[in-house]
Structure formats: C-alpha cells, structure tokens
C-alpha cells in the first residue's frame, strides 16, 4: 500500500480509465456473477496491480498489454482482508502505457444495506418481493466489483445487467439497448457510458417499480420510481426535483450534465438518501408523500431532494480529492438544501428555520471537547465513517452561510461558478474553493475561513461595554460545560460581526472595539449569520426583551436569543431565572420557529429539574410550561384551518407535542384520547398526520394494553414506512413497564427492519427516567444480538443504537458505567460517537437532532416521568440511582454545577414560577 500525505492509498502507478462491467444478479439465491474489463493507464513500470475488493471471490484474471496485445497472467494473487485489497503479482515489469485487466468474480446480495444488496417488501397484493440496489458511499463499491475505490480515482463506467424479463433495471445513465436471452426468460440491458466519476457514485437497481415523469424547462427527463401502485406518492418530489434542477442550472452556471435524473424509493436503506449521479436513492419516508402527509414530512422530503440534487454538481461534477474534505460535499449541499427549498417554497421560511435546526445542531455538538474540526485528517478511508455527523453537515452549512453573508451574494455566486467551471469532472480540495471566492471578492477568504474549518469549536462573544455607538467585544472558546480554557488552549476566530443596517466588520483580535449604528437596543449577529454565542449585559438583555415585545426582532434573532440564553445558563454565564423570564415574554408568540427554540430550551431544563429538584418545584415548572403554551395551543387548536400556512401546521404539532410532555390540563389529555379512539375505530379525519405522534404518546401515557395493542396492530397493517415510523417513535411511551419491555423485545426480534430498529428503542428510552434505565440494561444484556444485526451494515445504524441506548443519562456514575461497557465491548468504527455520548452524558444534552441526510436519530432529551418503577433484579446500580432526585442523593454529578446554580436561584421557589 502506498501512503501520500499520511493517507493509505492504492499505489499511483496504475490508474483506471474505464470500467466495462457486466452483472447477473440472482434474486432467488441472493448471489451475483460478474465480469469486467478495466482499461488502465500504467503510469510507471510496475510488476503488480492492486485493487480494492471486499466479500467478492475473483475466479479468473488476465491482463492484456495494449502495445503488443500481449496477454499476461499473474504469477500470484494475494488478498488482504484488513486492507480490503487484492494484489496481482507479475513475473515481469508491466511497461508504461495502456493495458486492459479482465476479471470474473462472484458475490452475495447481502442484507446489510451496503454494496450490492437485497431489500424485501410487500407488493400491493401483500406478496413478498425482493429487489436489489446499491449503496456505495463511502467504501462499498468494492463489495460489488473490484475497483480503485477512492474518490480521486475517477473513471468512465459502462454497465450491463442481465436480469429476469419483466423486471426494471436502472443505472446512472439511460438504457442504450437490450436483448433477450434464454428464450426470453432473461434480458440483457446495457446502459450508456457515464461521465468520468468516482466509484462511490455508481449505482444500479433491479426490481418491480412504477414511475411518473416530467421534463424540466431545460430539457432534462426526471422520473420518480416507487413500489407498484404507489407512483402517485411521487408527485410532490417530482415537482420539487424539476424546479430544483432548473434552479441549480441557473445558480451554478452549468447545466445538469446528464440526459436524465431518476429518483427511487428503496424499501430498506440505511441512510436518508444517496446522491448517485443520475440515479438518486432514498428511504421511502424521505421521497414518497401520500395524500394527507404532515407538513413536517413534506418539508423533510423537500430538503432531502434539494440536498441530493445539489450534490449532482457539488460532489458529483466536482468531487473532493479525499475524504478529509467530505465537508465540501455535505456542508455545501446542506447549505444548498435550504437555499433551493427557500427559492421553491418561500413560505417554508427555511433560513429562519436554519437557526433552530441546522445551526443549532452544529452548535450543540461543536460545544463539546469531543468535537472535531470541519476538516479532519483522514489517513485510512474507514475513518471517514466517523465524520458523517453534524459537524460535516450542519457546521459546514453554517460556515458556508457565514461566508455568503460576509462576501455578499454576488461574489459568493460568481466565485462558485468559476470554481465549478474550472474543476468540473475533476477533484478538488478546500483551498480551491477559497481561491475562487478570493478572486471573486477580493477578500483573503482562506484567512477568514481557516479559523472556522481547521479548529474545532466556536466563539463566545461577550459585550464588555456599549455607549450607544461603539461596542467593545471579547471573544473566547465557548464550551457547553463551562470548563476552564487553559492559556495553551485559547483560540482566536476571525468573526464577521453583523449588526442590522451595517456591513459586516471583521473581529480579528481577542478584544476589539467596533462602531455600530445607533439604536434603542444592541443586537450582535443580526440574522444569526455566524455560528457563535453572544453574552450581553443585564441592561442589554432588558432592552432586547422590550424590543421583542415591540416586535423589533426577526424570527431568527428571537429563536437565536432563546437558544443562546439556555446554552449560556448551562455553561454558567447566565442565571437560569433570567432565561425563564425571557421565555415567559413569548406567551403571545405565534411563530413555529421561535416555539421550536423554546421547546429545545425547556427540554434541557426539564432534564435537570426533573432529576435534581423537589417534587413541588418540578411540578411548578411543569405548571409554568403548561400555562405558557395554553393561549397559543388554544388559538392554534387541534384542527387544520383554511387559513393555515406551512408554519402553522408545524406550530400545531409542536404545541400539542409540548402538551403531551408538560400539560397538566386534563382536557388536553381527554381530547387526545378521543381522537385516538376515533382514529382506531376507522375515522381518520380526526387525526391528521401532523398530530399523530403527539396524540399517540398522550393516548399511551393515559391508557394501557388496549392502546398499546392498537398501535402494534396499526404497524402490522401499515402499507407505508411513514405509517410504521409513527408507531416506532411513539410506542415506547406506554405507561406499562411490562409493555415497555415488550417493545424492547420487539426491537431485537428481527420483525423490524434494521433501518428502523433503533426508533422503538429510542422511544422507550425517551419516555421517562425509569425507562431510560430499563433501556440501558436491556441494551447491555442484548448487546451481542444487536451488534450481530448491524455489524457489517452502515456504522450509522450502530451509532444510533449507541446514542439511544443511553438516552437521558446525565450523571458521572452513568458516564463511568457506559465508558466501562465500551472498554469491554470496543467498537472501532463508532469511537467518535461513543466519545460524544460520554461527554453528552456528563454535560447535559438538550434536544434531539435528527440527521437530515441519512435518517438516523442522534441523542435526544427524554420525556416526563410518571411511569411505574422498574422491578427487575438485572437493573444496574447506576440505573437505580437515576430514579432518585439528585438533590436528595447528594451524589457526585459532572453536571452538578448547572444544578447547583439553579438551586441558588429563585427558580427553586414556587413563588418564582407564579410570578412569571
């Protein structure tokens, strides 16, 4: 193996030019036969050729030297399981020039959602069916055919599939021709040659599908493929895709380079979607939209489609040279998903939502010491699996948004177009994008961005003084736990300081004075363009509260102020009582995005208050929240209104969800139960998708086995994955501990597809403190079974299980137990997730962040208590401690500083809550 810049790479002596691949999948025996001819460019004389190969048996191998049409057989063939390679050793040196390597091989259609794999599903008659599809990013093309499986080794691909007649065969490019074999029982489908591209972007699919189609204004054929009978559910994503392709054509200044774009729903899929060039694959729930789907699902489908189609340029046409620039692909596509969704649906308010969603997710993770820089050195390709996280996606998008604000829309776009034109069909590094933007803007973009991409974390900007026209600011490294930053750990960022009515001013020093426009209040980081926290003086907070009441702050600024205030309270920079007074000022607020931010902050407080204060104080907190949301919930109501906009539907779901967690109003619980019963009796009109999940939770909490079994029956009869997911994410909220155990048994039974099996486990863990303890003990005792189910699948599935199994823990003892467990059960590919989980336990996590690209849940807060105690002799000592309020235990708790600060504030007095 060769090493360049510390990277483990295949030797550079031989480069692939074109692959001609023929595959014959067997959907009965779950195998495939393959053959390929790879046109090579031997750039240096060598006596060996190495390729990547995994779980494939090579049967025959020959190399033909084109110069003299000489056929050469290798004298030795060596496999390395560790490096996933095969090396052909030759007696004589192969000369510089063209050559052709011919291989025949055999493989398995696995059930691990990686490589060339099989999916099971039910057709419209209820019959069981099998299809085969691919998922190659990052390192699984080598599971389907021997290749140079590195992003920088681009080549042209010609593909032929031999399949049963009557099946649909798809690939990146349109079909070129077909012929029939075996008396018509088989058909051979050949596809047009692809553009020059990386191996991880090749895709091919075989199965039974229906489709609908449309054409863009620029002449590209777009099709959406679905299981037979469900093509109508592809209408919404088809419309989004048509508009997005035309929009990206114009924005990037380069037309979409392929003649067609197919999007297809895959029954079993580990990610949310995959941007294969010209053949984008999706989880069903992230592509298909049935009539009556929730606003949340519509928005989710929209941004997944706009994300994947952005990749057709940024990632596919221009590709990172190596995995340490993964963020170039994912961060930019995450910015684009919001840009294009906003262009198509302005009423979605995606840039305002960015504050409480994408940026908030980035800042939660990046405030941990176990975070990592956006640009992570990757030596061995397998390491990339650990950086498909909120830093690459969400922080990457956040710093792109910051660059857009600082450079200006025109320079940003013209630089991007120049970058695309210069590097199309090739590979780049981060510095190439900085160079293009520097030329377009005249700014030293590399100097601006290096502090944001090459070091982890983000700044806390403190207002030291303000005289009405000039503000003195100080920056420091913000850490969620408020721990001391030693002198040698200090960081400096180049921070665009953005105030309303003023061009960005760059803060480059530890402290700096900046002139600002005169105003009744000071607002730093207007529009939340920069991922940073801001700490104001008491006087300034009072001015901002007045500005909120006068309607002078934007939605994103209000949401950002709430999120900052909670984070600052948690880290010890702000009193918890001041945060609650700020939140109380939003009673008249009716915007979903602000309420989403409030919900996140309250979830964080709920975790620590439930565990650490007296029962009357916690009850007073819940009563405050119930009162806080009462007017808004009553106004929004349970029913859709003709006047509802997109955000109104999201607000209704949020407020009902908050009622399900905090409400002490028996009328709300009774209404939820009424609607649940009517729905189960066949009246779907009372329970639209927007509110199904919170209503399911409320019915389970107030009910028993009847409600639980009703949901299990609903899942069994469900015909779509979104219907099943509604059940999976709520079923654990049953009040009966025996039924919670039944849910956990269901998780490992094999009856739930592994793409979804973490959802019910997370549901149990989120339902109460006692249930969190039960889940952890169950996970430990069934670890071998869980690991066996997904050990060769995408590491993201095990990441989800790791996070959700310890959901809600917040003590030092819990962290120690979890840490010891993973010392005894090491998981190499999941180490970063484990480290972040441990720090999250030691430093309270406030809200779940669903990974928006691959559909796997991240850690989340948990629901209110009230379920009966676990009575199980296997429950660990840590789990038992979790059931007793910490304030009564006096136990050592890493997050005790936060609790102790709360205990010293008016928050612990019942009179405080009544005064709000």
pLDDT of residue 810: 65
pLDDT in tens, 850-882: 333 323 322 222 222 222 222 222 233 333 333
- Which among 826, 708, 808 is positioned nearest to 766, based on CA atoms? 808
- Work out the number of other CB atoms within 10 angstroms of the CB of residue 505: 15
Alpha carbons within 13 A on the beta-carbon side of 253: 13
**Of residues 308, 330, 589, 770, which has the active-site annotation?**
308
What pTM was computed for the model?
0.91
pLDDT classification of 407: cutoffs 50, 70, 90: very high
Helix or strand (DSSP H, E) at 671? helix 666-680
Using an 8 Å Cβ cutoff, are 274 and 137 in contact? yes
pLDDT in tens, 453-509: 999 999 999 999 998 899 999 999 999 988 889 999 999 999 999 998 899 999 999
Ramachandran class of 95: left when φ > 0, alpha when ψ lies in -120 to 50, beta otherwise: beta
- Work out the number of other CB atoms within 10 angstroms of the CB of residue 379: 15
Residue 893 scores a pLDDT above 80: no
- Would you call 667 a catalytic residue per the annotation? no
Peptide bond into 138 cis (omega under 30): yes
Residue 700 scores a pLDDT above 70: yes
Residue 312 scores a pLDDT above 70: yes
Buried b (16+ CB within 10 A) or exposed e, 762-771: bbbbbbbbbb
- Which among 184, 599, 258, 542 is positioned nearest to 424, based on CA atoms? 258
Residue 633 scores a pLDDT above 50: yes
pLDDT of residue 806: 85
Residue 92 scores a pLDDT above 70: yes
Residue with more model confidence, 65 or 523: 523
Burial class (CB in 10 A: 0-12, 13-18, 19+), 81: exposed
> Which domains does the chain possess?
1-206 (2.60.40.1730), 318-453 (1.10.390.10), 739-883 (no CATH)
pLDDT classification of 68: cutoffs 50, 70, 90: low
Query: Which long-range contacts does 336-340 make (Cβ < 8 Å, 24+ apart)?
Result: 336/248, 336/306, 336/307, 336/310, 337/303, 337/304, 337/306, 337/307, 337/310, 337/852, 338/303, 338/397, 339/251, 339/306, 340/244, 340/247, 340/248, 340/306, 340/309, 340/310
Helix or strand (DSSP H, E) at 175? strand 175-181
For tokens 């069903």, the residue is 284
- Work out the number of other CB atoms within 10 angstroms of the CB of residue 135: 26
Rg (CA), the chain: 28
Find the mean pLDDT for residues 347-359: 97
Find the mean pLDDT for residues 801-817: 81
- Which among 784, 781, 778 is positioned nearest to 763, based on CA atoms? 778
Q: Give, rounded to a whole angstrom, the gap between the first and last alpha carbons of the chain.
A: 66
pLDDT of residue 254: 97
pLDDT classification of 794: cutoffs 50, 70, 90: confident
pLDDT in tens, 133-146: 999 999 999 999 99
Coil, strand or helix at 205 = strand
- Residue-by-residue DSSP string for 864-897: ---SPPP--TT--HHHHHTTS-HHHHT---TTHH
- Residue-by-residue DSSP string for 790-847: HTTS-HHHHHHHHHHHTTT--SHHHHHHHHHHHHHS--GGGHHHHHHHHHHHHS----
For tokens 């009965």, the residue is 28
């Amino acid at each position: 193996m060769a090493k360049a810049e510390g990277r483990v790479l295949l030797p550079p002596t031989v480069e692939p030019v074109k692959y001609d691949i023929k595959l014959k999948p067997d959907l009965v025996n779950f195998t495939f036969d393959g053959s390929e001819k790879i046109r090579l460019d031997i750039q240096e004389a060598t006596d060996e050729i190495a390729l990547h190969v995994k779980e494939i048996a090579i049967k025959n191998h020959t190399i033909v030297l084109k110069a003299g049409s000489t056929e050469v057989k290798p004298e030795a063939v060596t496999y390395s399981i560790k490096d996933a390679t095969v090396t052909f050793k030759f007696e004589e040196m192969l000369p510089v020039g063209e050559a052709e390597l011919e291989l025949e091989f055999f493989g398995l259609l696995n059930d691990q959602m990686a490589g060339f794999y099989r999916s099971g599903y039910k057709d419209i008659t209820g019959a069981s069916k099998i299809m085969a599809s691919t998922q190659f990013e990052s390192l699984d093309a080598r599971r389907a055919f021997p290749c140079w499986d590195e992003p920088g080794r681009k080549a042209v691909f010609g593909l032929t599939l031999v399949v049963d007649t009557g099946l649909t065969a798809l690939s990146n490019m349109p079909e070129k021709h077909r012929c029939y074999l075996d008396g018509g029982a088989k058909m051979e489908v050949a596809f047009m040659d692809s553009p020059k591209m990386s191996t991880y972007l090749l895709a091919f699919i075989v199965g039974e599908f229906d489709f609908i189609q449309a054409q863009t204004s620029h002449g590209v054929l777009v099709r959406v493929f679905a299981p037979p009978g469900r093509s109508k559910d592809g209408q919404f994503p088809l419309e989004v895709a048509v508009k997005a392709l035309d929009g990206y054509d114009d924005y990037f200044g380069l037309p979409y380079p392929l003649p067609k774009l197919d999007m297809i729903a895959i029954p079993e899929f580990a990610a949310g979607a995959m941007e294969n060039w010209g053949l984008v694959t999706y989880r069903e729930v992230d592509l298909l939209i049935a009539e009556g789907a929730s606003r949340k699902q519509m928005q989710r489908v929209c941004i997944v489609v706009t994300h994947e189609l952005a990749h057709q340029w940024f990632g596919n046409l221009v590709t990172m040279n190596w995995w340490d620039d993964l963020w170039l692909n994912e961060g930019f596509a995450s910015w684009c998903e919001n840009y294009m969704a906003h262009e198509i649906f302005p009423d979605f308010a995606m840039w305002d939502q960015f504050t409480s969603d994408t940026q908030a997710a980035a800042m939660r993770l990046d405030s941990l010491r176990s975070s990592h820089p956006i640009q992570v050195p990757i030596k061995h390709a397998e390491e990339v699996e650990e950086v498909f996280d909120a830093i690459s996606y969400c922080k990457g998008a956040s710093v792109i948004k910051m660059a857009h604000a600082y450079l200006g829309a025109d320079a940003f776009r013209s630089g991007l177009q120049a970058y695309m034109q210069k590097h199309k069909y090739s590979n780049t590094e981060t510095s190439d994008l900085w160079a293009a933007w520097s030329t377009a803007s005249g700014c030293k973009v590399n100097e601006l961005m290096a502090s944001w991409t090459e070091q982890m974390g983000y700044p806390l900007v403190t207002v030291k003084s303000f005289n009405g026209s000039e503000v003195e600011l100080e920056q420091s490294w913000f850490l969620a736990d408020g721990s001391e930053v030693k002198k040698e750990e200090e960081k400096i960022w180049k921070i665009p300081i953005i105030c309303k009515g003023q061009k960005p001013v760059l803060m480059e020093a530890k402290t700096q004075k900046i002139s600002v426009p005169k105003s009744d209040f000071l607002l730093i980081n207007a529009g939340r363009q920069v991922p940073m926290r801001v700490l104001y003086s008491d006087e300034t907070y009072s001015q901002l509260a007045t500005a909120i009441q006068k309607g002078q702050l934007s939605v994103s600024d209000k949401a950002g102020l709430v999120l900052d205030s909670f984070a600052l309270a948690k880290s010890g920079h702000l009193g918890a009582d001041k945060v609650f007074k700020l939140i109380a000022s939003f009673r008249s607020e009716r915007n979903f995005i602000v309420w989403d931010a409030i919900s996140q902050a309250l979830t964080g407080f709920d975790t620590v208050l439930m565990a650490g204060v007296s029962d009357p104080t916690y009850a007073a907190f819940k009563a405050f929240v119930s009162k806080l949301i009462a007017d808004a919930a009553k106004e929004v109501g349970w029913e859709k209104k003709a006047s509802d906009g997109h955000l109104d539907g999201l607000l209704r779901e949020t407020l009902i969800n908050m009622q399900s967690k905090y409400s002490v109003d028996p009328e709300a619980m009774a209404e939820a139960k009424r609607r649940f019963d009517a729905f189960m009796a066949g009246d779907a009109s009372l329970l639209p998708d927007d509110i199904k999940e919170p209503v399911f939770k409320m019915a389970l909490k107030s009910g028993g086995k009847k409600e639980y079994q009703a949901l299990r029956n609903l899942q069994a009869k469900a015909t779509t994955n979104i219907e099943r997911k509604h059940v999976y994410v709520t079923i654990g909220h049953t009040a009966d501990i025996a039924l919670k155990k039944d849910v956990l048994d269901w998780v490992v039974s094999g009856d739930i597809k592994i793409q979804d099996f973490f959802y019910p486990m997370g549901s149990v863990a989120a339902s109460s403190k006692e249930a969190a303890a039960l889940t952890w003990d169950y996970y430990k005792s069934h670890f071998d079974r869980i690991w066996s189910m997904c050990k060769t699948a995408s590491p993201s599935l095990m990441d989800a299980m790791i996070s959700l199994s310890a959901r809600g823990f917040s003590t030092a003892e819990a962290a120690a137990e979890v840490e010891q467990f993973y010392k005894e059960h090491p998981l190499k590919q999941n180490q970063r997730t484990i480290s972040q989980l441990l720090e999250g336990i030691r430093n309270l996590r406030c809200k779940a962040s669903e990974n928006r690209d691959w559909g796997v849940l991240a850690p989340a807060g948990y629901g209110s208590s009230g379920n009966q105690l676990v009575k199980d002799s296997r429950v660990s000592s840590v789990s038992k401690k979790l059931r007793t309020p910490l304030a009564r235990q006096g136990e050592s708790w890493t997050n005790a500083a936060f609790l102790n600060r709360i205990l010293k504030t008016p928050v612990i007095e019942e009179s405080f809550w009544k005064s709000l």
